[in-house]
Each structure stands twice: as structure tokens, then as C-alpha cells.
Amino acid sequence: MTRPPIWYLAVLAANAAVRLRELAISREHERLRGGEPSAPGTYPLMVASHVALVVMPALEVSLRGHARPRLEWAMVLAGATALRVWCIRSLGTSWNVRASVPADLVPVTSGPYRYVRHPNYVAVILEFLAIPLLAGAWVSALVLSGWNAFVLFDRIQSEERALDESPAYRRAFEGKARFIPGVF
């Protein structure tokens, strides 16, 4: 067993720190806005998957060794992070990690939401690929991405049911793709 390189441990630690900061921001937004979580059953599974995103690639790299840092995956990670920040800023106090939909929902149709309904999930999907593959942890990338897809499927279905209760949301996002502009 070998220790993962310091640069990779720093990437994983930064990812964990960002997630913890996002939890604090989310709690504040939920306190301000209220609303019931749209998929409470999947929340613990999401937390577990984000913890695994830090732990599993580090274990794989320790057991199997690591590849040199892959610039293309670093660029995907940077782009995904920028997209997630853009999503959070665009949603403002409406953004939260529990997918709570307030009763006074005003749909946000600016920023990346101008193009698709769920750009934040696109960012997370890309992160679940890029973080492990940055150091060649391809088993982690496959397993974690599969798990993430399983969790997101239910969460997105539940979140859309809650959002669709708002006629304003239905009007604003009618005909807009979920993830990729012009697809599905």
C-alpha cells in the first residue's frame, strides 16, 4: 500500500471542505426560505456518496497506485466546479442540498437555468467522474458514478414532482431539457 500523492490528497481535502461549506450555506438558505425536502429518503444516500467521493478514490490510489495527474480531468473538474458555483449563485437563497421547494417558489430562469433545468446535477455528475480519474482511480469513477446515477434518478424525479406543483415553474421550464440543451 502506498500513500496517495500530496497533490491528490489536497484535491480531495478541498472537495470535502467545499462540501462542508455548502452544507452551511444550505442550512442558512433553508432557515430563510423554508420548504419541505422533496426527496428526504435520498438525502442520506447523497451524503454517503459525497463522503465516498473523498474516501474511495484515496483508498483505490493507495492500493493500486496512481497515474500522473491528468490535465483533461483537471479541466473537467474546474469546469464542473465553476458550473456548480454559477448554479448556487444563480439560485441565491433558493439553493439548498435537500431540494426543499418553498411554497412561494419563484422559478429562476437566469444563469445556467436559462439553458437546462438541472445544471447543478450536471456539475455533480462531472465531478464524480473527474475527481477519481484525476489520479487514475477508474474503479472508483465507475462505482461512484453508477451509485450517483441511482441516487440522482429518484431525487430528480421527486424534486421535479415538487417543482411541478408550481404553475410558474411549469411555464418557465416547459420544453427545457433536464441536463443538456436540446437533448431530451
Tell me the pLDDT tens digit for each residue of 12-21. 999 999 999 9
Determine the pLDDT at residue 184: 57
Quick: pLDDT tens for 118-136. 999 999 999 999 999 999 9
Inter-residue contact 56 to 148 (CB < 8 Å): no
Domains of the chain: 6-173 (1.20.120.1630)
pTM of the model: 0.90
Inter-residue contact 20 to 51 (CB < 8 Å): no
Quick: pLDDT tens for 56-71. 999 999 998 877 888 9
Compute the Cα dihedral for 85, 87, 91, 96 and give only its sign.
negative
In this prediction, the residues of the chain whose per-residue pLDDT falls under 50 are none
Determine the pLDDT at residue 146: 97
